[in-house]
Amino acid sequence: MFGRQTLYRLIESLTPSQRAALMNCKSIAVIKGIRKLHTPSDPVRTIAAYIVGSTVSDGGICEKDYLFIFPSLIKALGNECDIAEIKRAYKVSSDVQEEVESNLGAMHDIFRAAGEELKSDIVCLCLLIMAENGKLSPKERHYIERLV
């Protein structure tokens, strides 16, 4: 896999159609790969919650971020999980940061069970969704760095 900084620049340089095509490819690989994993939590829900967490990790929920990210999540993960339920979990959480940390811990469980190729595909898919607006913010980059 590329170095992370190179990967960030590559993701940001993609056109929306290139990003969509790569997201489609990575989604298939990730869904196929995580179905084979044995983890304590539902891996599809965990990945979706982790990605949503990138929009709220600063302690707030921004509806604009959700509007950017939800179509991509639905396209990437389909009906595999209830995105609205994940959004509600963040909205009703008394401590958003605690919810973010919980999802990060569950993602570490997935990473412990996954091979290197699946880990790379998961990171790439997360970045593609986070970069739906064409940019990866420093906050989003830091969020991914905590995982890898």
Is residue 8 within 8 A of residue 136, CB to CB? The reply is yes
Q: What is the DSSP letter of 42?
A: -
Q: What is the mean pLDDT of residues 123-146?
A: 87
Whether the model pTM is above 0.85: no
The pLDDT of residue 114 is 92
Domain total in the chain? 1
What gap in Å lies between CA 31 and CA 4, rounded to an integer?
22
The pLDDT of residue 14 is 95
The pLDDT of residue 116 is 94
Q: Which domain holds residue 97?
A: 4-147
Place of tokens 């906050």: 139
pLDDT at 58 over 70: no
Q: Give residue 3's region: left, alpha or beta (phi > 0; psi -120 to 50).
A: beta
What gap in Å lies between CA 73 and CA 25, rounded to an integer?
14
- Residue 119 — very low, low, confident or very high, per pLDDT cuts 50/70/90? very high
What gap in Å lies between CA 124 and CA 130, rounded to an integer?
10
The pLDDT of residue 147 is 86
The pLDDT of residue 13 is 96
